[in-house]
Amino acid sequence: MFGWFSPGFPLKTGSLAILLALLAGCVPAQQANRQRSQQTDPQTDQQVQPDPPSDRSTNSASPPPASVAQSPAPNPPQPKTFAATQSNTFRVETVTEGLEVPWAMEFLPDGALLVTERPGRLRIIRDGQLDPQPIAGLPAIVESGEGGLMDLALHPQFAENQWLYLAYTVRGDAGDLRTQVSRFRLTAAGLAEPLVIFPGAPGASGSTHFGSRLTFGQDGKLYVTLGERADPSRAQDLQDLNGKTLRLNDDGSVPSDNPYANRSDARPEIFSYGHRNAQGMAVQPNTGLIFQTEHGPSGYDGARGGDEVNIVEAGRNYGWPEISYDQQGPGLLPPLLLYETAIAPAGATFYTGSVFPQWQNDFFFANLRGQTLIRVVLNGSEVIGQERLLEREYGRLRDVKQGPEGFLYVATSDNDSYGAGRAGGDRIIRLVPNSP
Ligand SMILES: [Ca+2]
């Protein structure tokens, strides 16, 4: 069962011993967490430290719903192997550079590429040319640490309604920083008809763990990731929206079939919980399953590493901070994929194009610290194997999207607060097949 980790991601013997002890039922998860933290030397680099959390309690969670509490312990990870395929069939082209922390990309129906820059600009690339003028009409955005202008999403009927959604950081009434989501109509003159569809939940004074990715599901609902604002216990508190995935209607109202819609002791917006900081999300084409990438501990809140890929489902608890890495606990879902060495996973997509036929329906996600694009080969929710592309060739990678011609576009992030900086600014590059 420990072949779950492909050869590139070896399982350390310390965590193996803890997992065996957990399976034997003799070490509570919290104890195992402490043991593991003591066994692993924290790595040090230019990671910024968050402000002190306001509450270190790990026991403030509302009790899980009966359906979750009674669910059986998840199956242990199954053996996985590397995909045999080598993807050295592409070349890399630079689409544009001179960007500042491009956080998210979306292609418009006409083939133009929209790009958010975290300082608070929305850019557009038409026919390979970056418009020097940012798109007008953005709201007031606070750039602070990991916060600023983050994700964008197009409404499923964008061609008819031109609705565009942005997730961005604002300052709340209490002076806190929080993630807000607004809808706009994209016009030739810029963004129009602004409508705040999610005003944001009370956040924190610090500038880390905002999330925030926006993705429409195949059910037409808008899914929103919110980080736990460097206050781990909030991820388990069902009356706090931080550390959650939210599920909203396209106007921000709450769907009546949300898992906690009829509970008085939980927020109805919540779809899944126990998340630390999910910065990638994509819907699997044939199944509608929602895949997320999530950052594991950074050293101050657990041994650095333990990054995750999860499939998020209604009402489920993804464990943070009760479990991380390969720990297990009743009603807590372990990750689909675990990366013991920190890679800082970010934006994600599924490939559905035709110019890379060997990549059909594969899951791709960009990695910041890992400076790589990871390709995961799947059979539904079963991992067949994975492969690392572009590793340490183009710096920190923030987002990945498929272009209209089937090329794979990747945004770099060397000019954020963790990056080394790059004189030419951040880039958008694309993977183009060598033999079209
Ligand atoms: Ca987790």
Catalytic residue chosen out of the listed positions 155, 209, 275, 295:
209
| Predicted model pTM | 0.83
Residue 61's pLDDT is 34
* 291 half-sphere exposure, CB direction, 13 A CA radius: 28
Residue 367's pLDDT is 98
Helices then strands, counting H and E runs in the chain, come out as 4, 24
Cross-strand pairs, 332: 317, 329
Q: Between 77 and 295, whose confidence is greater?
A: 295
pLDDT at 30 over 70: no
Residue 161: in which H helix or E strand, if any?
helix 158-161
Q: Between 64 and 110, whose confidence is greater?
A: 110
356: CA distance to ligand 1 center in Å? Answer: 32
281: CA distance to ligand 1 center in Å? Answer: 15
pLDDT at 343 over 80: yes
CB 389 within 8 A of CB 317: no
Residue-wise over 376-412: b if at least 16 C-beta within 10 A, else e?
Answer: bbbeeeebebbbbbbeeebbbbbbbbbbeebbbbbbb
- Summarize the confidence of residues 8-21 as an average pLDDT: 34
330: CA distance to ligand 1 center in Å? Answer: 13
Over residues 390-414, the pLDDT tens digits come to: 999 999 999 999 999 999 999 999 9
75: CA distance to ligand 1 center in Å? Answer: 15
Sequence spans of domains, the chain? 2-27+70-433
88: Cβ contacts below 8 Å, ≥ 6 apart = none
272: CA distance to ligand 1 center in Å? Answer: 11
Over residues 100-139, the pLDDT tens digits come to: 999 999 999 999 999 999 999 999 999 999 999 999 999 9
pLDDT at 194 over 90: yes
* 42 vs 17: CA distance, rounded Å: 19
Residue-wise over 55-74: b if at least 16 C-beta within 10 A, else e?
Answer: eeeeeebbebbeebeebeee
302: CA distance to ligand 1 center in Å? Answer: 13
* 293 vs 336: CA distance, rounded Å: 10
Closest CA to 347 of 393, 401, 426: 401
Max CA separation in the chain (angstroms): 64
420: CA distance to ligand 1 center in Å? Answer: 29
- Summarize the confidence of residues 367-383 as an average pLDDT: 95
260: CA distance to ligand 1 center in Å? Answer: 20
> Could you give the 3-state DSSP secondary structure of residue 379?
strand
Q: Between 417 and 194, whose confidence is greater?
A: 194
389: CA distance to ligand 1 center in Å? Answer: 25
pLDDT at 428 over 60: yes
Q: Between 329 and 44, whose confidence is greater?
A: 329
pLDDT at 42 over 50: no
For residue 323, with 0-12 CB atoms within 10 Å meaning exposed, 13-18 middle and 19 or more buried, which class applies? buried
Asked about 209 being catalytic, the answer comes back as: yes
403: CA distance to ligand 1 center in Å? Answer: 31
Structure tokens at 56: 């270190």
Over residues 235-293, the pLDDT tens digits come to: 999 999 999 999 999 999 999 999 999 999 999 999 999 999 999 999 999 999 999 99
Residue 87's pLDDT is 57
294: Cβ contacts below 8 Å, ≥ 6 apart = 275, 276, 277, 278, 279, 307, 308, 309, 310, 318, 320, 335, 345
Q: Mean pLDDT for the chain?
A: 84
* 177 vs 158: CA distance, rounded Å: 30
Structure tokens at 129: 């040319």
323: CA distance to ligand 1 center in Å? Answer: 7
317: Cβ contacts below 8 Å, ≥ 6 apart = 64, 68, 236, 272, 273, 274, 331, 332, 333
Q: Is the peptide bond before 212 cis (omega within 30 degrees of 0)?
A: yes
335: CA distance to ligand 1 center in Å? Answer: 6
* 33 vs 302: CA distance, rounded Å: 8
6: CA distance to ligand 1 center in Å? Answer: 19
Which is the CATH superfamily of the domain at 2-27+70-433?
TolB, C-terminal domain (2.120.10.30)
Other beta carbons within 10 Å of 339:
23
315: CA distance to ligand 1 center in Å? Answer: 14
The percent of residues above 90 in pLDDT, for the chain, comes to 78
Q: Which amino acid is it at 276?
A: R
Closest CA to 370 of 285, 323, 305, 302: 305
* 132 vs 152: CA distance, rounded Å: 20
> How many Å separate Cα 236 from the centre of its chain?
18
State residue 2 phi and psi, 5-degree precision. -85, 0
Q: Which amino acid is it at 7?
A: P
